[in-house]
Structure formats: structure tokens, C-alpha cells
Amino acid sequence: MTRVLVSGATGKLGAPICAAIAGADDLTLAGRVARSLAGGEGFASVAEAVAAAQADLLVDVTAPAVAEAHTLAALAAGIPVVLGTTGLGEDGATRVDAAAKTAGVPVLYAPNFAITAVLMMRFAAEAARILDQCAIVEEHNPAKVDRPSGTALRTADLVEAASGTRPEISSLRIEGVVANQSVIFGAAAQTLELRNVTTSREAFVPGVLLAVRRITTLEPGLHVGLEHVLD
């Protein structure tokens, strides 16, 4: 049984993750972190949780302002981290990578756990090898804190690495949307549009479980993208 700590446990993404872990035969919910659970059913922070609960790994789906501190607290206790909170940034990524290497455990930062989004990014990288004009349009609900989305930034990195040109990103915030993205390529008299649509946060849960089950196959340090455990 792998004992999983979930921070952001009461959130729109964290709640279905907790339910899926609790319902899985090979996983057990080691603890739940959210400020609203403090002093009762859970812990206010990861630092508190790792001191009190026995956990084999952490899943963090909280908020950009606190995710790095949560990740570093788990790493200080030698616990691998599946990080789904977006907005880590380059400096944060450098610090997390160093801490993970010092701890000798992996961190998997997945800007998007939806399998269709991961495939969209993979196909975009492939198209960018041939088509160098590209633009990204990402759509999320207005509650999303970071802008552009982690998925858009990751897609732009992949397209730039393949084509040498960084695509423009447009960020739309629309009520009712969960997380959608189009990657649009243009050439003379033709366009190619790759579009990923998610209709509920249930879309992310299978990818989270995949990451939880396979993260320990990764080397110590920071790995960006669910593709590291997909194939």
C-alpha cells in the first residue's frame, strides 16, 4: 500500500483525487492538508502533516503562493512529490530541483494531468518541427490565479525547442470553462489546430493516479510533464 498525503484536499481538484485514492486497492490516504481542515480532520500545512502522519508521497494541488513551501517541506522529510499546482516559475523550479536532488527523491511537476492535454503538447512539438508559425490560446475559469496557464507555458517551451520560435500566448478567462487550450499552426493557405477540452476536473484524476503509481521509477530531481510516466 502506498500512503499518499494530499494537500489541497478540499479543493475542486483535491477532493476527487482524495476520493480516487481512498477507492484504490493499492493506495491509502495518509492525510489531508487544507487550512479549513486544521485542528480536526486534517492539517493546515504539509510541514505539520509530514511530522504527524506516515506518508510515502505527497500530491500537492493547492495554490501557487504555497505549493513550493509544501514541496520543500515534503522533500525535507525525504518524501517524493507529485506537484499539480501550476505557477512554479523558473526560480521555484531551480530550488525544487536542488532540494529534490539533495533529498535523493523525485518531484514530478505536471502542469496538466489530462492525458489528452499531454498528447496535444506532444503533437504540437511534432508539428513545430515542420510548421514554425504557431499561436496558443488558453481558456480557464476566472478563479485561476496564474496567467498564462502552466500548460500554455509548457507548450510554448516545447514548440520553441522544436522550431526555434516562441509562440504568442493568449489567455482568456471565461465563466463555465474548466481548462481548454488550442495550439494553432499556420502556413500558406492552411492552418492546423490542436485543441484539448476538459469538461470537469475528473479529467485530471487518472493522470494523477498514474503519476502516484510511477513517480518512484524516476531519478532524483525535478521532472516536468506527465509524459515522464506516460509511456
Ligand X SMILES: NC(=O)c1ccc[n+]([C@@H]2O[C@H](COP(=O)([O-])OP(=O)(O)OC[C@H]3O[C@@H](n4cnc5c(N)ncnc54)[C@H](OP(=O)(O)O)[C@@H]3O)[C@@H](O)[C@H]2O)c1
Cα 112 to chain center, whole Å? 5
* 144 tagged catalytic: yes
Q: Does 120 bind ligand X (CB under 6 A)?
A: no
Q: Does 14 bind ligand X (CB under 6 A)?
A: yes
* 228 tagged catalytic: no
Choice from 63, 76, 77, 192 touching ligand X (CB under 6 A): 63
Phi, psi of 218, rounded to the nearest 5 degrees:
-90, 155
Choice from 18, 30, 42, 85 touching ligand X (CB under 6 A): 85
Q: Residue 116: CB partners within 8 Å, gap ≥ 6? A: 196, 197, 198, 203
Distance linking the first and last C-alpha atoms of the chain:
23
Q: Which of 81, 125, 91, 82 is nearest to 226 (CA)?
A: 82
Q: Does 9 bind ligand X (CB under 6 A)?
A: yes
Sign of CA dihedral 211, 152, 146, 199: negative
Q: Does 33 bind ligand X (CB under 6 A)?
A: yes
Q: Does 180 bind ligand X (CB under 6 A)?
A: no
Grid cell, residue 89, equals 516559475
Choice from 29, 50, 57, 61 touching ligand X (CB under 6 A): 61
Sheet holding 106-109, edge to edge: 27-33, 2-7, 57-60, 81-83, 106-109, 221-224
The catalytic residue among 12, 70, 101, 140 is 140
Choice from 68, 106, 113, 223 touching ligand X (CB under 6 A): 113
- Candidates 55-63, 94-102, 125-133, 167-175; binding stretch for ligand X (CB under 6 A): 55-63
Q: Which of 75, 99, 71, 103 is nearest to 84 (CA)?
A: 71
Q: Does 211 bind ligand X (CB under 6 A)?
A: no
Q: Does 199 bind ligand X (CB under 6 A)?
A: no
- Candidates 73-81, 104-112, 125-133, 214-222; binding stretch for ligand X (CB under 6 A): 104-112
Cβ 106 to ligand X, closest distance in Å? 16
Closer of 120 and 131 to ligand X (Cβ): 120
CB atoms within 10 A of CB 54: 10
Distance CA 168, CA 161 (A): 14
Cα 161 to chain center, whole Å? 20
Choice from 4, 5, 11, 134 touching ligand X (CB under 6 A): 11
Q: Does 66 bind ligand X (CB under 6 A)?
A: yes
Cβ 145 to ligand X, closest distance in Å? 6
Residues that bind ligand X (CB under 6 A): 7-14, 33-36, 45, 61-64, 66, 84-86, 110-113, 144, 201, 204
